[in-house]
């Protein structure tokens, strides 16, 4: 599915963001941009779903124009006045990432590297979902008039499209159809597991509905031939959900209450983990990440925001296999920029650096590209106390 879906997520989320009283001009411009986004997204989803069509000479000019339009929309989205949300420190980082990725796809396509461009495009849905499923804030659409039109689009791709465009009820149904499919569970375990993960993300982060989360887990446990490691995770997730159902109703909205609740959930998640990337605590990490994002939105000037960004990074580093491997680093980067030259900024930098270096380490050793080294140096200089000797790579 498309890298454009990250675009969708961000443009949809920013287009409906939290400006208290948008001016008529802003509303008209935002609406026009959204309409253009949906039209372009529909077209490129269809074009990129088929190898022959995406790479053919006949469609070359059309696909190029679609990518050019997306690049323009991504650039527009970088302007904070577009979203109306000037307080959420994650938006500027994520929109900048989106702009870079769409431009990379467009540049690759213009250079004749069509398969590479298509690969970049197909990475966007997870980014869209990562943004649109941070918590329950924002409008949910029950049935947008536009949807992928090509018969070649797979069920998981259509489910992701619904999730990325805030059609959560349709997304949940589509993910559940995959989860309940014996053929998918037995013959396409990667897609099946991905559907479980995405379904739980919506149920827990967006809908905050333990009963829906339990329905998803129970449906997955009905697949008796599923991999043992998945069934082990599902069994623990069910226990976490059952404990959630027993909890008294919490309406944590104050900064203090959200901070306390986030800390409680993180502590419980850590208690369940047997090793750093163990997924036993995923249900709790999903709940914690939603709580910390509520804190960021409800108290954007709070002294706890930097810590909330750090905790978001930690949560998403554990939840990494849900599809977007850079999300935790984006939160660490936002943390550094929120409170530069502080102890918490340095903690975020250490985690960012470790994750980045590990990402460029393999059997042949470590080979960090020069531009990535420069990014590390820039973030290091923003993190450490002034006067600290420069980092060397």
Each residue of 188-227: pLDDT tens digit? Answer: 999 999 999 999 999 999 999 999 999 999 999 999 989 9
Q: Kindly list the domain boundaries of the chain, sorted by start residue.
A: 1-166
Decide if 240 contacts 283 (C-beta within 8 A): yes
Q: What does the pLDDT read at residue 372? A: 92
Task: Calculate mean pLDDT across residues 273-302.
Answer: 91
Count CB neighbours of 376 within 10 A.
18
DSSP calls for 120-146: HHTTHHHHHHHHHTSSS-S---S--S-
Q: How many CB atoms lie within 10 A of CB 372?
A: 15
Rounded to whole angstroms, how far apart are CA atoms 118 and 108? 9
The conformation of residue 323, written as its DSSP 8-state character, comes to: T
pLDDT for 248 beyond 80: yes
Question: CB pairs under 8 A, 24+ apart, for 183-192?
Answer: 185/220, 185/223, 185/225, 185/226, 186/223, 186/225, 189/226, 189/227, 189/230, 191/154, 191/156, 192/223, 192/226
CB 289 within 8 A of CB 134: yes
For residue 150, name the pLDDT band (cuts at 50, 70, 90). low
**Residue 219 CA to its chain's centroid (Å):** 24
Please give the C-alpha separations between residue 251 and each of 82, 108, 255, 294, 315, in angstroms, as whole numbers: 31, 48, 12, 12, 22
Supply angle C-alpha 19, 24, 25, rounded to 5: 95
Which of 65 and 176 is assigned the larger pLDDT?
176
Q: How confident is the model at residue 57 (pLDDT cuts 50, 70, 90)?
A: confident
Q: pTM of the predicted model, to two decimals?
A: 0.79
Q: Yes or no: say if 5 and 125 are a contact pair by the CB < 8 Å rule.
A: yes
Partnered with residue 361 across adjacent β-strands are 366
**What's the pLDDT score for residue 18?**
37
Average of pLDDT values for 9-16? 39
389 Cβ contact partners less than 8 Å away, ≥ 6 residues apart? none
- Average pLDDT, integer, range 136-151: 52
Judged on CB neighbours under 10 Å (0-12, 13-18, 19+), 251 is exposed
Q: Are 98 and 53 in contact (CB under 8 A)?
A: no
Residue 134 CB burial class (10 angstroms; 0-12, 13-18, ≥19)? buried
Q: Is the dihedral of CA 361, 1, 200, 39 positive or negative?
A: positive
**pLDDT for 331-353, tens place per residue?**
999 999 999 999 999 999 999 99
How many beta carbons lie within 10 A of that of residue 79, not counting itself?
A: 10
The first and second tokens of residue 282, run together, are 């995923």
> Which of 29-38, 83-92, 164-173, 282-291 is predicted with the least confidence, judged by mean pLDDT?
83-92
Number of C-beta neighbours around residue 193 at 10 A: 22
| Integer Cα distance of 160 and 324 in angstroms | 13
């Amino acid at each position: 599915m498309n890298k454009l879906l990250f675009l969708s997520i961000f443009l949809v989320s920013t287009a409906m963001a939290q400006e208290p009283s948008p001016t008529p001009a802003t509303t008209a411009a935002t609406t026009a941009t959204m309409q253009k986004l949906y039209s372009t997204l529909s077209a490129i989803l269809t074009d990129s779903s088929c190898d022959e069509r995406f790479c053919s000479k006949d469609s070359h000019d059309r696909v190029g124009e679609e990518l050019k339009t997306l690049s323009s929309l991504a650039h527009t989205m970088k302007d904070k006045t577009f979203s109306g949300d000037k307080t959420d420190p994650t938006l500027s980082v994520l929109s900048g990432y989106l702009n870079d990725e769409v431009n990379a796809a467009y540049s690759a396509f213009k250079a004749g590297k069509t398969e590479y461009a298509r690969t970049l495009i197909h990475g966007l849905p997870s980014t869209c979902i990562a943004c649109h499923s941070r918590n329950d804030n924002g409008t949910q659409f029950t049935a947008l008039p536009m949807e992928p039109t090509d018969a070649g689009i797979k069920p998981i791709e259509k489910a992701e499209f619904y999730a990325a465009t805030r059609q959560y009820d349709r997304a949940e149904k589509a993910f559940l159809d995959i989860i309940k499919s014996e053929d998918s569970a037995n013959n396409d375990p990667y897609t099946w597991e991905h559907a479980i993960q995405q379904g739980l993300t919506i149920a827990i982060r967006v809908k905050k509905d333990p009963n829906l989360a339990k329905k998803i887990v129970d449906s997955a446990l009905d697949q008796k031939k599923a991999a043992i490691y998945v069934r082990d995770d599902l069994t623990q997730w069910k226990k976490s959900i059952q404990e959630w159902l027993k909890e008294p109703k919490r309406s944590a909205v104050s900064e203090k209450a959200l901070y306390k609740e986030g800390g409680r959930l993180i502590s419980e998640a850590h208690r369940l983990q047997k090793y750093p990337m163990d997924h036993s605590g995923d249900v709790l990490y999903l709940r914690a990440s939603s709580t910390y994002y509520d804190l960021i939105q409800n108290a954007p000037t709070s002294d706890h925001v930097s810590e909330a960004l750090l905790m978001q990074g930690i949560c998403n580093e554990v939840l990494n296999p849900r599809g977007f491997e850079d999300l935790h680093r984006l939160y660490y980067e936002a943390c550094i920029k929120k409170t530069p030259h502080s102890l918490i900024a340095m903690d975020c930098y250490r985690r960012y650096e470790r994750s980045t270096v590990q990402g460029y380490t393999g059997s042949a050793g470590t080979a960090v590209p020069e531009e990535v080294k420069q990014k590390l140096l820039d973030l290091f200089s923003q993190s450490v106390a002034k006067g600290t000797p420069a980092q060397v790579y």
